[in-house]
């Protein structure tokens, strides 16, 4: 676990911070945006049918019914962009056993925390997640749930924590590079060289 790695490499203060880290409660739940039975072919049709054709509208579905891979579908400039969400066995907190991430981005405790992160920071995608689209076709404006000033504080925390993506990175026993190890917006920066496909809206995912 990262707090154990930090202790092993002599970062006692960092190890203590990681061991005692308590993530904040996400503002949304899976019922707001997760579509367990939505197929790839029906995704675009679903956005149109529920009038969720706004930049920043999004949902998450499974990738080919796989329990361990998901797809973030983001509506932007009249097209749907698809981003593969990977799940790995990597416990960076004593209460977690998995981590979720897109491409080489931050590791997150859950899908809810991943959505929370990308609703506050674009972080490699063209627009922040604004409108959660539920299986019932309800559209939730996430920005209305964010307390005033929270986004600014989060942006400051992200800039100060991430820094250079390779600065101070430590390789875990599983071969994953974790840059900095500090949680930021419920995530950790992943700087490994192994790539994860990022959809470009071409329909591969």
Q: Which residues of the chain register pLDDT less than 50?
A: 151-203
Q: Where are the domains of the chain?
A: 24-145
Nearest CA-CA partner of 118 in 94, 93, 89, 85? 85
Structure tokens at 143: 């920005």
* Rounded-to-integer distance, Cα 74 and Cα 54, Å: 10
What value does the mean pLDDT of the chain take? 73
Q: What is the pLDDT of residue 42?
A: 92
Q: What is the pLDDT of residue 173?
A: 37
Top-tier CATH class for 24-145: alpha beta
Write out 37-87 in H/E/C secondary structure: CCCHHHHHHHHHHCCCCCCCEEEEEEECCEEEEEEEEEEECCEEEEEEEEE
Q: What is the pLDDT of residue 187?
A: 44
Q: What is the pLDDT of residue 189?
A: 43
Q: What is the pLDDT of residue 190?
A: 40
With vertex at residue 51, the alpha carbon angle to CA 148 and CA 124, rounded to the nearest 5 degrees, is 55
């Amino acid at each position: 676990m990262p707090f154990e790695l930090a202790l092993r490499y002599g970062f006692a203060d960092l190890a203590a911070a990681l061991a005692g880290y308590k993530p904040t409660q996400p503002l949304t739940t899976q019922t707001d945006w997760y579509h367990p039975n939505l197929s790839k072919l029906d995704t675009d049709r679903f956005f149109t049918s529920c009038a969720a054709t706004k930049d920043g509208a999004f949902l998450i579905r499974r990738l080919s019914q796989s329990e361990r891979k998901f797809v973030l579908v983001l509506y932007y400039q009249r097209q749907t962009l698809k981003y593969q969400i990977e799940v790995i066995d990597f416990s960076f907190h004593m209460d977690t056993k998995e981590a979720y991430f897109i491409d080489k981005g931050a590791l997150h405790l859950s899908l809810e925390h991943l959505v929370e992160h990308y609703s506050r920071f674009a972080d490699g995608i063209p627009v922040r997640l604004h409108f959660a689209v539920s299986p019932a076709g309800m559209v939730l404006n996430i920005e209305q749930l964010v307390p005033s000033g929270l986004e600014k504080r989060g942006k400051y925390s992200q800039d100060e924590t991430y820094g250079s993506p390779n600065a101070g990175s430590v390789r875990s026993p599983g071969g994953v590079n974790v840059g900095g190890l500090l949680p930021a917006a419920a995530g950790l920066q992943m700087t490994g060289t192994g790539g994860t496909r990022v959809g470009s809206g071409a329909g591969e995912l």
